């Protein structure tokens, strides 16, 4: 294709210097730090006998950890979708004292090191802890159970949902809601039929981002999980367990399976964004 090449070439030769240097360095550093190490994982998996890798992944203990990781991540992302929408709605729509502080605190799970959140959540939700002592008489075992894993994953995923929803809620055109109201729609009907469809792509993206992050999360979960085999072991922990047993092939097999899962999610997120951008474009 000669035509586009000539065009890009001319643009490249504009007055601004440094294209070769910056792009060259970008690709060099990207390869060195990210691409080569990541490809090591896939080459290692490809080099190992497939039967062994399959046996590792389908062993009961690993399957149990995948079940827990997927279920807890889904549950946490769902909780975050509901409460994250509430928090984002509150921050965008209502005025109240201390709003800026609340808005800043939403980012706490991003900023707080995961080991710190892990031990803090464990202490608070353990039997006898500040919140755990109220749950205990109700027969709810929060820490050292699948529920504990979910609690940690809710903590870690919250900012993803809120921060994706906030701009979408801010972009809503007030006239559309007013039009719906003046045409006789109730508040709930307006929300369900006008607002929700408009923010659905953002909600889905936030949900998927929180889910993807939850799947790979390690630090905040290992303390509160209790790590009982077959019961409360998450997938990242099993990778570490295999490594400590010097079972590199096993660790690599589990890691590859997980990585494929995260890349599928990443692809899904991009597809949702592409779809919503196109829809937005078609409407506007």
Partner 1 sequence: MGGTAKSQLRGRRAAAGLAAKGDPGWVKWLITGASLCFLLLFLGVPLVAVFAEALRKGLGAYLESFQNRDALSAIRLTLLVAAIAVPLNLVFGLAASWAIAKFEFRGKSLLVTLIDLPFAVSPVISGLIFVLLFGLQGWFGPWLAGHGIQIIFAVPGVVLATVFVTFPFVARELIPLMQEQGTEEEEAALVLGASGWQTFWRVTLPNVKWGLLYGVILCNARAMGEFGAVSVVSGHLRGQTNTMPLYVEILYNEYNFVAAFAVASLLALLALLTLVLKALVEWRTQGESEASPAPATAATPEAEP
Query: Closest Cα to residue 148, out of 128, 107, 118?
Result: 118
One of 48, 57, 74, 124 touching partner 1 (CB under 8 A): 124
What token pair was written down for 210? 């929180």
- Interatomic CA distance for residues 174 and 190, integer angstroms: 12
State the binding string over 33-52 for partner 1 (x if CB under 8 A, else -).
xxxxxx-xx--x--------
Chain centroid to Cα 79, Å, comes to: 13
Q: Which of residues 51-80 bind partner 1 (CB under 8 A)?
A: none
Q: Which of residues 145-184 bind partner 1 (CB under 8 A)?
A: 151, 154-155, 158, 173-179, 181-182
What token pair was written down for 181? 């109201």
By C-beta, is 72 or 87 nearer to partner 1?
A: 87
- Does residue 118 contact residue 222 with C-beta atoms inside 8 Å? yes
Residue 81 CB, nearest approach to partner 1 (Å): 12
Assess 94 for contact with partner 1 (CB under 8 A): yes
What token pair was written down for 41? 């994982």
Count of other CB atoms within 10 angstroms of residue 277: 11
Beta-strand runs (E) in 171-275:
none
Q: Which of residues 11-30 bind partner 1 (CB under 8 A)?
A: 11-12, 14-19, 21-23, 25-27, 29-30
Please report how many Cα atoms fall inside a 13 Å half-sphere around the Cα of residue 228, on the Cβ side: 9
By C-beta, is 71 or 266 nearer to partner 1?
A: 266
List all residues 6 or more positions away from 269 whose beta carbon is below 8 Å from its beta carbon: 205, 208, 209, 212
By C-beta, is 204 or 254 nearer to partner 1?
A: 254
By C-beta, is 150 or 201 nearer to partner 1?
A: 150
What token pair was written down for 269? 């997120």
Q: Which of residues 233-272 bind partner 1 (CB under 8 A)?
A: 236-237, 239-240, 243, 246, 248, 251-252, 255, 258-259, 262-263, 265-266, 270
Name the one range near partner 1 by CB under 8 A: 51-59, 103-111, 199-207, 225-233. 103-111
What token pair was written down for 99? 């709003």
Residue 272 CB, nearest approach to partner 1 (Å): 15
Q: Which of residues 193-232 bind partner 1 (CB under 8 A)?
A: 212, 215-219, 223
- Assign 3-state DSSP to the chain and report helix, strand, coil percentages, each to 5: 80, 0, 20
- Interatomic CA distance for residues 10 and 241, integer angstroms: 55
Residue 158 CB, nearest approach to partner 1 (Å): 7
Residue 276 CB, nearest approach to partner 1 (Å): 16
- Interatomic CA distance for residues 96 and 93, integer angstroms: 10
Residue 15 CB, nearest approach to partner 1 (Å): 5
Name the one range near partner 1 by CB under 8 A: 48-56, 59-67, 90-98, 198-206. 90-98
One of 70, 74, 78, 112 touching partner 1 (CB under 8 A): 112
- Interatomic CA distance for residues 89 and 170, integer angstroms: 9
**Count, residues near partner 1 per rule CB under 8 A:** 101
């Amino acid at each position: 294709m000669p035509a586009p090449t000539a065009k890009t070439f001319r643009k490249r030769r504009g007055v601004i210097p440094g294209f070769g240097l910056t792009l060259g360095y970008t690709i060099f550093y990207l390869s060195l730090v990210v691409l080569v190490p990541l490809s090591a994982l896939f080459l290692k998996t490809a080099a190992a006998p497939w039967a062994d890798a399959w046996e590792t992944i389908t062993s009961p203990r690993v399957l149990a950890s995948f079940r827990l990781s997927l279920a807890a991540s889904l549950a946490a992302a769902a909780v975050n979708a509901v409460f994250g929408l509430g928090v984002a709605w509150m921050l965008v729509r209502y005025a109240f004292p201390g709003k800026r502080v609340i808005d800043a605190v939403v980012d706490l799970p991003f900023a707080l090191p995961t080991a710190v959140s892990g031990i803090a959540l464990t202490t608070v939700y353990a039997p006898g802890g500040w919140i755990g002592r109220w749950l205990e008489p109700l027969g709810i075992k929060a820490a050292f159970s699948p529920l504990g894993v979910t609690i940690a994953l809710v903590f870690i995923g919250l900012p993803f949902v809120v921060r994706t929803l906030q701009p979408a809620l801010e972009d809503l055109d007030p006239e559309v809601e007013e039009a719906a109201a003046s045409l006789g729609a109730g508040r709930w009907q307006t929300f369900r039929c006008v607002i929700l469809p408009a923010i659905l792509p953002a909600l889905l993206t936030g949900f998927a981002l929180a889910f993807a992050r939850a799947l790979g999360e390690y630090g905040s979960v290992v303390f509160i999980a209790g790590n009982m085999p077959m019961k409360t072991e998450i997938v990242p922990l099993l990778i570490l367990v295999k490594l400590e047993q010097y079972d590199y092939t096993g660790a690599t097999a589990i890691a590859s399976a997980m990585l494929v899962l995260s890349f599928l999610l990443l692809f899904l997120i991009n597809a949702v964004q592409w779809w919503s951008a196109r829809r937005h474009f078609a409407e506007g």
